[in-house]
A and B are shown apart, each in its own frame.
Chain A
């Protein structure tokens, strides 16, 4: 299949290209400021929400925010063409790190298990999650691939992209972190859609996935099955799991509802959350804290910020002068928005409880830094919008 086509150029254009690369024009008025503003807004909301119950962690999160923005500046200064060139290498290294995390012979000093999951690589006093970074490197690699791929008009092309995606996704699922692994699907679908794949093919794949999903239930691990059971029970009004596997979901819904329209304010929200023993209140369930403290308005604000981020990313993609830029922006926007939606839907009882965090808002250094780096890619793409021939 003619997926990878070499960028063979007529000699005449090569010189022109070399000139262009030497003096790249940089723009400052572009759509990428919208996702940056949205990201900042979400990050600050996150710091405030974490401070409701854990002021010490809020301070740390603010520190991560500063680090993240610094890292983002570094990435934003790069040219996206460099990213395109090194995307596959970065992905390969990242996949290797994922394997390192999984391999059982690696000692605990390097891969420190937490709550039974092996996801973090110990770097000094920090823990770094390869699975967070692979989301970015994978989007860039896919953008690099799809920007020149003609094969995606065929079903075989679509399947090929799925096969390649399965590698990082599968490694993540083995950690076990099924929730993050499932993010890849919708993001890939949006990227394929943007890249020009046939809607019919995508619809077939989606339909098959929907049919096969319930059949995977017996293959799921017990705690994953428990979460689905708990959610079904919650929806049906069955209260028997409320103190067991449904505890988290039940408390989340109670506290989110308790916030009312305008929220309860810091004191009362903090008290309620603490004594109702909401688990994971500073990462997975942070949206509940927002809904409790700022009410329906707070929740809607988060969604609006997330929508703004996605909208901004899509506009960056629209205005991008290259296939890579367009696809990278769309992929980034899709991934962040899907993660945000899944997390909020899970906290208010529309989906089974999962370990997915709320981007920019949840507590977590690697996640925040990687997301800011991701946002910086948008900036890089938007600020060097090229017109005309650009390879």
Chain B
């Protein structure tokens, strides 16, 4: 070895060799040891988990679609339903012609045989391919023409749509390649261009829809065509949600309207009947859906959990607003799954679970009739002079101009069961869709005014103040109070009774009735002093507590509100802290306003500064008190039941997982209830009642409530409203502020003639409408007519005929128009 020319391994070199080979041997042993350790860790430590991963790949699973639950009204009429629908989709290679090219090559090659093909020259090969390509092109054209015919398209239309698809896909491909090139440049620098391969994007091998909403017969024929010609077209499922009552039509009889509006029949087109309540779906899955309820979660320890009802990115039906959103999890149902083992072919199947159907307490025909009342053709929701009245023979100024459109809300509750029969908010969401942006910004059609917006109750609280005072032991049912026109001795302008004005020659109610008033007179004439007195005697804290018992200040959970947990908020990208840094509440409600009551801090502050005004005006529903039309109807329903709490609900289907609702009995003094109801009756029927008559410019008048054969109890309310700022020219700056506004309230309780207790509570609110009795009253009158038309009240059949129902004109559901309440 080294240096030894004889090539003979000398003893010394052998010893060196041995030593070195031992070193090499040790190195080898170390290497093997390290690799064995690695293999040990893989097989023993990670083995079972990896085996599960490898075995999971043996399963091919297909998801089976489910059906979203329906939403129906109390009589089973369909308000929202999913209908199957089919699209015709053409594969991209058939659109750009490459289907024919690639098939031509493979057919030519297999026809020639492998050996011959490799011997053919490029020219010969091209000729063989061309021959086949022409035939295949012709076949492709034939198939596409037949598909167009089956789908009801003209051939040119199909060509045009395929051209659109092609342009879009090419645009997208260019964008995707550009961005891939960009990211390659970031990694590889200038090399990126040379190594970049424009790999085809997914859309270039997928099928694209060219004709949508095909009927089942066409879909069936197209499917046969696609089976016979694979790779050209396919039939895709495109189930969609229909809302039969998205539009409707009703013939309104204007015979019972106030005289200036009276007329014959008029056809009203309704948009979005009950759409505030029912809501709508969207067809795209958003990030917050994926985070709230993902289809597939991989936990830290490697286990995978699949939620068959969960969301996957892409197209899906997801509730966007209203009940569709609130009960998204219940309506959605669960998909099914078919798992096929690739090696054995055995299948296991989990059936899909249909979504829960929601049964509402609403009566959609009643809802349609009530919504029609707000249509401009009827005139009740346009500003009229008699809403604002006359002073000294001259018409009072109308704040928004003659016939300005007004916003409002109506809630109708069945008193015995607490079920909501109708809940209308005007303008509806659909009506808002056809508005200009400025009008939409001013009128906010997306707000459900029946329960999302609070308004000062005004005089509506007076009956509640009385029964509360009796309940609190502060007054006796037969209490008599003097109305001297102004409550505070020191001030004649402040704390007045509404009648104590120059235009009425500073009248007082005591002068009118000739003595102190009892509650019947106080309620029917809506005397302020009576209730200022009771309110101050109770004290604001007690009054606040009683308001709370009647349902103000807390949500009654009618069923529309979504309850968001802290997890939902995190999924939506919000933090777990409230705005002031305090930890956010565990549950947050979205979609129902709780109303406004003075908070404990406010009560302390009021007491601390010895404020006498706030406690007093709280008695007539002003100050830090506000409620929604739903709460108004609900409170009056509680009163009509004698204090039994059965809060309004809109859903008949029981839903698990919502917080328990309140129950109980306020145990109102029966005598006080009777007496206050008498006052409410007089408000409508006695001439002096605030809800009895409308007076016109010429001094004539007529009853507000004119439904024959029906007993009505009612309270009017004219509540001070905050000023409205108007930007006339749309430049973002406020141009004028309108003050002196008043919300018009009318709560009516209706029952059949001869009954001594009402069956239905109707709350009507017209925003900035002026006088409660004159603006909201006629609307409530028409609602009672509608109740009679729908059979809830018998009415006097000799004097009024039932009027024809509304016809839904939206897309019908699966069972046809009969199921939606339309003409059979």
Given the contacts A257-B47, A318-B14, A318-B17, A150 and B24 also touching, CB distance less than 8 Å: no
Closest chain-A Cβ to B2's Cβ sits at a distance in Å of 3
Closest chain-B Cβ to A10's Cβ sits at a distance in Å of 11
CB–CB A152/B2 < 8 A: yes
Does A349 count as interface, using CB distance less than 8 angstroms? yes
Contacts of B51 in A (CB 8 A): 257-258, 260, 264
Main secondary structure of the interface of A (DSSP, over half): helix
Contacts of B13 in A (CB 8 A): 196
Contacts of A307 in B (CB 8 A): 28-29, 32
Does A233 count as interface, using CB distance less than 8 angstroms? no
Given the contacts A303-B32, A337-B28, A296 and B39 also touching, CB distance less than 8 Å: yes
Does A12 count as interface, using CB distance less than 8 angstroms? no
Contacts of A323 in B (CB 8 A): 1, 4, 7-9
Could you give, for residues 267-305 of chain A, a 1 whenever the CB lies within 8 Å of some chain B CB and a 0 otherwise?
000011011100000000000000100011001100100
Nearest-neighbor residue (CB-CB) of B24 within chain A: A190
Closest chain-B Cβ to A235's Cβ sits at a distance in Å of 12
Does A57 count as interface, using CB distance less than 8 angstroms? no
Residue of B14, B18, B42 touching A256 (CB-CB under 8 A): B42
CB–CB A314/B25 < 8 A: yes
| Distance of A55 Cα from B39 Cα, bound (Å) | 27
Contacts of B43 in A (CB 8 A): 256-257, 259-261, 291, 295-296, 299
Contacts of A118 in B (CB 8 A): none
Nearest-neighbor residue (CB-CB) of A251 within chain B: B54
Closest chain-B Cβ to A308's Cβ sits at a distance in Å of 11
Given the contacts A153-B2, A196-B16, A272 and B8 also touching, CB distance less than 8 Å: no
Residue of B16, B25, B342 touching A311 (CB-CB under 8 A): B25
| Distance of A317 Cα from B1 Cα, bound (Å) | 13
Task: Give the size category of A's interface with B.
Answer: 35 or more
Does A34 count as interface, using CB distance less than 8 angstroms? no
Closest chain-A Cβ to B194's Cβ sits at a distance in Å of 9
Contacts of B42 in A (CB 8 A): 253, 256-257, 291, 348-349
Number of interface residues of B (CB under 8 A): 48
Contacts of A320 in B (CB 8 A): 9
Does A50 count as interface, using CB distance less than 8 angstroms? no
Residues of chain A from 11 to 40 with CB closer than 8 A to chain B in the complex: none
Does B5 count as interface, using CB distance less than 8 angstroms? yes
CB–CB A389/B54 < 8 A: no
| Distance of A321 Cα from B10 Cα, bound (Å) | 10
| Distance of A258 Cα from B58 Cα, bound (Å) | 14
Does B21 count as interface, using CB distance less than 8 angstroms? yes
CB–CB A296/B40 < 8 A: yes
Does B729 count as interface, using CB distance less than 8 angstroms? no
Does A160 count as interface, using CB distance less than 8 angstroms? no
CB–CB A350/B9 < 8 A: no
Could you give, for residues 21-44 of chain B, a 1 whenever the CB lies within 8 Å of some chain A CB and a 0 otherwise?
101110011011011101110111
Residue of A148, A254, A310 touching B50 (CB-CB under 8 A): A254
CB–CB A193/B36 < 8 A: no
Residue of A190, A222, A258, A296 touching B54 (CB-CB under 8 A): A258
Starting from the known contacts A256-B42, A272-B58, A318-B17, 19 additional A-B residue pairs (CB-CB under 8 Å) come to A5-B5, A147-B7, A148-B5, A193-B20, A194-B17, A254-B54, A257-B43, A257-B47, A260-B44, A260-B48, A276-B57, A299-B39, A314-B21, A318-B18, A322-B9, A323-B1, A324-B7, A348-B42, A391-B6
- Of the A-B pairs whose beta carbons lie under 8 Å apart in the complex, a sample of 19, sorted by A's number, is A5-B5, A147-B1, A153-B3, A196-B13, A254-B54, A255-B54, A257-B42, A257-B49, A257-B50, A258-B50, A258-B53, A260-B47, A261-B43, A276-B57, A296-B39, A303-B35, A307-B28, A314-B21, A341-B32
Top 8 closest A-B pairs, CB basis? Answer: A196-B2, A257-B50, A150-B3, A258-B51, A257-B42, A296-B43, A258-B54, A271-B343
